[in-house]
Structure 1
């Protein structure tokens, strides 16, 4: 038990530090101030998402085939190179793009790897039933890292934007050191209960086999990639919403930090809501209603409705991810998880382009309202799926 506690302390610290980036608060604004046009920024963001899709499953297969700890050490080091590129870019479009490529590579190495390692460690300790509880704390650590980075980064950037970029590197270096304590406890690289030697390419076949065998796995994947991803992509546009309702710039970091704090609490408490599958459609519907209400904003107080929409969705995001891992029964857990992340990225690109088009055509506030309306068919689909025996959450 003591070994598991030490593992979890190192794990949560690693997750926090991986996203404790001061540059989160200002990087798109920095690009524009250094001469990158808004259209070029859009290209950079699209390249970021596209490179993440390409790298996600190959990195998951690496994780299933080699020592997961090695990949978790390399991931923050690659992400640190992002801020080295940006720190010396001085308006060079290609260096910003290279930085995004390093970010995608680092993110891909740790995304499926992290959750697979966590589930396997709990299963080895006979604690797999606690996965949703621990995964909620994982999401909380990530959210707190993002929020704290944005909060501190906003104040640092007020003094000097370049400092916010360079000071994003030390937390990643500390995270790489912490990853040395995250031992991969698999007895063999072949995987969970399968004595057949695995090859690198066989992990792709294993992952697709998981989706072919388990209808529930497909159901949860679509639920997360089509329904829940909407709320994640909207955060990329929140600064435009803040401008539309006249939130002062100094308060942007405070808002980001505060909403991540409440999101973290909702994630930690998510396991207490297990056993209520109706929440899988009710909470997205509530989040959608809050988005619609926020779209009528004509003063700063409407931003509270927007932030509540993000908090409302936190519990089902955790519970759906936990169910995804419980359904899996194969040896290529990281590759299968990476397939989920890749699906989320594909859906995210399509949704971002659509949202951007609506925002340009109707305005940023109506676009948030239409994003909320999308939750109505999502809720109906989940409700009908549950009547047919499918479950998005336990």
Structure 2
């Protein structure tokens, strides 16, 4: 997949007007809060169960085909919601398709992009292009947040779903036009899936430097995705109405987009730049949580900016560290660990009594892990230097 095609693909993949309103769609259909929560849990089931198998499949079979199938399943989800009666099992069926789509594309996208660039001798450009792709994805989500609520209110939920179907079809078409590149498959045809799994785990666990890279992705860099679920509650705590909450969320995604676009400016300044960005983000969130006043809101949004940059830089470091191992399989192991970690954190957050306590916990947790990784990286660098 070429650089321009990857950027367009990420943009269309995330230009889904249903993003900010699907809980309202469920509520309008008469579903209870517990049923909506169950639907969200159903979405995560195929993501967790298929993460590793889809990674192995991407390395042993065809990454381009997986992206096409993923796009078809995502399109199928919104089509089911559009044409079938608004019932619980219909929404559940759509979420199963959507969750499966997420599992199939996870790891395959990054691996296809990196190997395409490596084939051209341009693997050093991965960080820049990946950052632009993720930045474009955040812009697309922001546009969806800005417009999804208005379109749903003005024209109805079917129009929102129809736009989402069209965007998903467009992303699928872009994937169909890409070229399959799988350097692992070309060089390792004789190895079994079990060997592929062992080889990927060995790469993750063998070197301390790689372990610290993975830990940063699993814990501090994943925390914005967890806090994201509570972001509307943060906005509503300031008395914002539903329409303005959409603008709040869209603005936050724009800041994430800037973080992804500017990652290249931070990269290479220092060997441990990623963990320093994580510390900067955690400190910003801690400042906001400690005071919680409107004046400190910029620190809340800076948390997303810093961690977005850190995520792009760290993904590039992981990809550059891989030599002859399966890229998609390694990515799937990291994604699975990230998903399981998120589930555990959500369980812990359920015991807290206020949104500000949740933010404070996330800030402290992220800072603690970041400082520990920073200390470990510094010690490892000294040992390697000696």
Q: TM-score scaled by structure 1? A: 0.89
User: Which of 72, 75, 85 is the aligned partner of 2:67?
Assistant: 72
Distance 1:247 1:174, change over 3 A: same
> CA-atom RMSD, angstroms?
2.3
Please name the residue that 1:219 is paired with: 212
* Offset of residue 119 of structure 1: 0.7
Does the Cα contact within 8 Å between 2:232 and 2:249 map onto a contact in 1? no
Does the Cα contact within 8 Å between 2:61 and 2:185 map onto a contact in 1? no
Is the counterpart of residue 265 in structure 1 residue 265 in structure 2? no
* Offset of residue 315 of structure 1: 1.3
User: Which of 370, 375, 382 is the aligned partner of 1:384?
Assistant: 375
CA deviations over 1:47-97 (Å, ceiling 9, x no partner): 322321111111111111122211111111101122123335655222222
Question: Secondary structure of the residue that 1:15 maps to in structure 2?
Answer: helix
Q: How does 1:188-267 map to 2 (within 5 A)?
A: 190-191=185-186, 193-194=187-188, 196-267=189-260
Please name the residue that 1:348 is paired with: 342
Please name the residue that 2:168 is paired with: 172
Please name the residue that 2:180 is paired with: 184
CA deviations over 1:291-311 (Å, ceiling 9, x no partner): 234336766665543222111
Q: How does 1:114-133 map to 2 (within 5 A)?
A: 114-133=109-128
Please name the residue that 2:80 is paired with: 85
Is the counterpart of residue 366 in structure 1 residue 361 in structure 2? no
CA deviations over 1:241-273 (Å, ceiling 9, x no partner): 111121222122222222222222221221221
Question: Secondary structure of the residue that 1:197 maps to in structure 2?
Answer: coil
Distance 1:41 1:129, change over 3 A: same
Q: TM-score scaled by structure 2? A: 0.91
* Offset of residue 347 of structure 1: 0.8
Does the Cα contact within 8 Å between 1:216 and 1:327 map onto a contact in 2? no
Distance 1:117 1:302, change over 3 A: same
Distance 1:241 1:126, change over 3 A: same
Is the counterpart of residue 315 in structure 1 residue 324 in structure 2? no
Tell me whether 242-251 or 281-290 shows the greater mean CA deviation.
281-290
Distance 1:213 1:282, change over 3 A: closer
Q: How does 1:16-27 map to 2 (within 5 A)?
A: 16-27=11-22
Query: How many residues align structurally?
Result: 380
Structure 1's unaligned 5+ residue stretches are none
**Aligned equivalents of 1:212 and 1:280: distance in 2?**
19
* Offset of residue 231 of structure 1: 1.3
* Offset of residue 199 of structure 1: 3.8
